[in-house]
Structure 1
Amino acid sequence: MNTIQSVKIINIPKVHDERGYLAVIEKDTIPFPIKRVYYLYDVPNDSFRGGHAHKNQESIIIALSGSFEVIVDDGKRKQRIMLNKPNQGLYIPIQIWREIENFSSGAVCLVLASTNYDENEYIREYSKFCNQLLG
């Protein structure tokens, strides 16, 4: 079973010259092959996203622009993590509940996922999430 300690910041390699920065995500940068990429934008700052866990999907969440907070929860402990650097990603393994909130104006949240979309793979009720951890 994964715990809060399994969640970690991953530094994305970057190159800098007088034209700015270039961040590069290649196969050795993250701990899984990417099957799906999606992003959230124009999220009102009083809204939240997430509110689920995954049975089989690993994720990397990156603040491409602006900032937001990710609350991760292993059923015993919660941790709030501020993301605001486009060269850092938050690795979230399977069976970790996540919520994303406090979006700044213009924030863009990129998610790299290890699986294709499958609604049956989501755990969307917190009580079911906690029950699965016990059983």
Structure 2
Amino acid sequence: MTEGSGFVHSHALVESKQIGPRTRIWAFVHVLPGARIGADCNIADHVFIENEVVVGDRVTLKSGVHLWDGVTLEDDVLVGPNAAFSNDPAPRSRVKPAEFLKTRVRAGASIGANATIRAGVTIGPGALVSDGAVVTRDVPPRAIVAGNPAHITGYLDTPEVRVDGPAISAQRLGSELPPLQARGAKLHALPKIVDLRGALSFGEIGAHLPFTPQRFFIVYDAPSEEVRGEHAHKACHQFLVCVKGSCTIVLDDGEHRDELRLDSAKVGLHIPPMVWGIQYRFSADAVLLVLASDTYDADDYIRNYDDFLAAVGKKPA
């Protein structure tokens, strides 16, 4: 039968009256009375949707998905076959908590087949949860996560910048460093001096450093699966040098993104204010030196990605 120019299969049980137009609901689906489902959704066979569930527009739910109280799926989300959500971290038979934890899947995110989403996490906008992943923590925007527990393996829609390689000689490094797309971000070549005593790299204010540092900090012993950064600064500039090992940097100005691997003390990365920065995929021996233009000020940080997009004049996903 049809509901609001949509379709409800004769073997579906749809008790909710809050179903958007053009939504298609297939056989053996059960939707409880309190559920809210948006327009243009496609809900495949054997899906169960509980009362306190919100499903946005253009959402696709594949077979075998169960959405429990407290789950919200924003617009354009895809949930693959048999992906599992939970809403109670300590379930007991016939014991209902005062309030279920809230799980949120942001706009445009996709969840692969047989993934497990722990109660209370947020999957960021545009993120991708790989098949079989077990998500125990929040997933950042556009991140790709995999494994048990899930960890970040990459970022979507982020072109990779080749910083070094066989085609780039030390003598011509300054002219060969590639440009970055993120607004104001730039790679800088640092001198390297080698003699019998070893190698030395240095930087001078003006010649190599685009600002006068007021602070420095060093990141080391970072587990490879951990992600650092995930913020922007309102006024502070930063200059990053991976003096040992390697790490991957993601830059985002709200419109353009870059991903690059720092693995040489001959290269410094200048991150200007109002550019979102992420560091991940640290090698076991990585030592990352960060020079900052200002002393620490908690008010200078923007730690929420939606707030960052608003600050640079972009509409959150």
TM-score, L = length of structure 2: 0.41
Q: 1:67-89 CA distances to partner (integer Å, 9 max, x unpaired)?
A: 01000000012110110001211
Supply the distance in 2 between the matched residues of 1:125 and 1:62 (Cα, whole angstroms): 25
- Structure 2: gaps spanning 5 or more residues: 1-180
Equivalent in the alignment of 2:202: 24
Instruction: Classify the secondary structure of the residue corresponding to 1:21.
Output: strand
Equivalent in the alignment of 1:71: 250
Equivalent in the alignment of 2:186: 8
- In the TM superposition, 1:92-103 aligns within 5 A as 92-103=271-282
Supply the distance in 2 between the matched residues of 1:8 and 1:46 (Cα, whole angstroms): 26
Equivalent in the alignment of 2:212: 33
User: Percent identical across equivalent pairs?
Assistant: 35
Instruction: Classify the secondary structure of the residue corresponding to 1:134.
Output: coil
Q: Which has the higher strand share?
A: 1
1:107 aligns with 2:254: no
- Structure 1: gaps spanning 5 or more residues: none
Instruction: Classify the secondary structure of the residue corresponding to 2:193.
Output: strand
Runs of at least 4 residues of structure 1 off by over 6 A?
none
Counterpart residue type for residue 186 of structure 2: K
Counterpart residue type for residue 238 of structure 2: S
Instruction: Classify the secondary structure of the residue corresponding to 1:6.
Output: coil
Supply the distance in 2 between the matched residues of 1:59 and 1:100 (Cα, whole angstroms): 13
1:46 aligns with 2:225: yes
Instruction: Verify the 8 A CA contact 2:183 2:256 in the aligned structure 1.
Output: no
Q: What displacement does 1:36 show? A: 0.3
How many residues are matched?
133
Q: What displacement does 1:27 show? A: 1.7
Supply the distance in 2 between the matched residues of 1:58 and 1:81 (Cα, whole angstroms): 18
Supply the distance in 2 between the matched residues of 1:21 and 1:49 (Cα, whole angstroms): 29
Supply the distance in 2 between the matched residues of 1:65 and 1:24 (Cα, whole angstroms): 14
Q: Which has the higher helix share?
A: 1
Supply the distance in 2 between the matched residues of 1:26 and 1:76 (Cα, whole angstroms): 32
Supply the distance in 1 between the matched residues of 2:194 and 2:220 (Cα, whole angstroms): 26
Counterpart residue type for residue 58 of structure 1: H
* Higher Rg of the two aligned structures: 2
Supply the distance in 2 between the matched residues of 1:33 and 1:77 (Cα, whole angstroms): 27
Instruction: Classify the secondary structure of the residue corresponding to 2:310.
Output: helix
Q: What displacement does 1:5 show? A: 4.5
Supply the distance in 1 between the matched residues of 2:240 and 2:270 (Cα, whole angstroms): 7
